[in-house]
A = this chain, B = another copy of it.
Amino acid sequence: MATVVAPKEFSPVEDAENIKKACLGWGTDESAIISILGHRNSFQRKLIRQAYEEIYHEDLVKQLKSELRGSFETAVIQWILEPADRDAVLANAALNKTIPDYRVIIEIACVRSPEDLLAVKRAYRFRYKHSLEEDVAARTTGDIRKLLVAVVSAYRHDGHEIDEDVACSEAGILHDDISGKAFNHEELIRILSTRSKSQLNATFNRYKDLHGTSITKALYPADEYLAVLRTVIRCIYNPKKYFAKLLRSAINKESIDEEVVSRVVITRAEKDLKEIKELFLERNTESLDLVLAGETSGHYKTFLLALSGVVLD
């Protein structure tokens, strides 16, 4: 379930005007911006951006980029972009790092629905005049490339039909590959990149039944490729658990990886952040909201907490 709280009734024009007001004069009224944008769903934000453009002949993204700073700026801009376009931007940024952040690519390829992934690929082509597959291939090598290009290229069936015979035989193929340490086996990549998620979940369950251990446990990430492979499987098998763990590892007593925290909160706030928070709490002494309140600060904190559904009065 979503955490962001959006009103049923709202006026895009009024919101656009109030955002403009918050930007005018000395300084910026960040609280006003948060109280509006932190409580609008993706469709509402789209209408606000359109209204802003019509009234002021100015792109809301550009306006806010010039007004805001730091992690808060980045988070607000990501939040305003349409989800597919946002993912395209996240993917491009992840690929352009010195060492590409494969996790972002895998989340987009394996957590999003087939239609949503497609929308990301379309948005990516539109923005960067390259296909996402092309840029993933250009920024990776070897087995990691084979696996990532395959999962990004996937256009899976998204029905719920399960073929138990296939699940059984492919659980066997995966087990043979993994226990034989032939991790880069073509069959494994074929299975992970062409089967529907329902079918893959049946296969992973069958793997556990037959071998007494889950496939993710069997895959101890001894090198970079295995870590990538394991992330692919976790993002298909149990994305909420994956995100809960990602948040835990991004927030520790010494530091906080704001990039990761922003990405999870922003991309999941309208999807399943509620369940992710519950899973987070199961393995943590404090709730995500309390941790965020303690570890972040300023407008960035207020904004994240708004998206996470915390009502601050």
Contacts and interface: CB of A to CB of B under 8 A. Distances in A.
A153 B154 CA distance: 6
Contacts of A33: none
Contacts of A146: 186
Contact of A195 (B125, B134, B161): B134
Contacts of A21: none
A134 B157 contact: yes
Given A194-B137, A195-B134, A157 B145 contact: no
A161 B129 contact: yes
A246 to B, nearest CB: 27
A196 interface: yes
Contact residues on A (Cβ < 8 Å of other chain), bracket:
20 to 34
Interface in A193-252: 193-196
A156 B131 contact: yes
A193 B133 contact: yes
A110 to B, nearest CB: 15
A155 B153 contact: yes
Q: State the number of copies, please.
A: 2
A268 interface: no
Interface in A133-179: 133-134, 137, 145-146, 149-150, 153-159, 161
Given A118-B118, A133-B193, A155 B157 contact: no
A283 interface: no
Most buried by B among A130, A157, A158, A196: A157
A118 B121 CA distance: 12
B190 A159 contact: no
B157 A130 contact: yes
Contacts of A133: 154-155, 193-194
Contact of A153 (B125, B137, B193): B193
Given A118-B155, A155-B118, A159-B125, A196 B145 contact: no
26 contacts: A118-B155, A121-B155, A125-B157, A125-B159, A129-B157, A129-B159, A129-B161, A130-B157, A131-B156, A131-B157, A131-B194, A131-B195, A133-B155, A133-B194, A134-B157, A134-B195, A134-B196, A137-B190, A145-B186, A145-B190, A146-B186, A149-B150, A149-B193, A150-B153, A153-B155, A153-B193
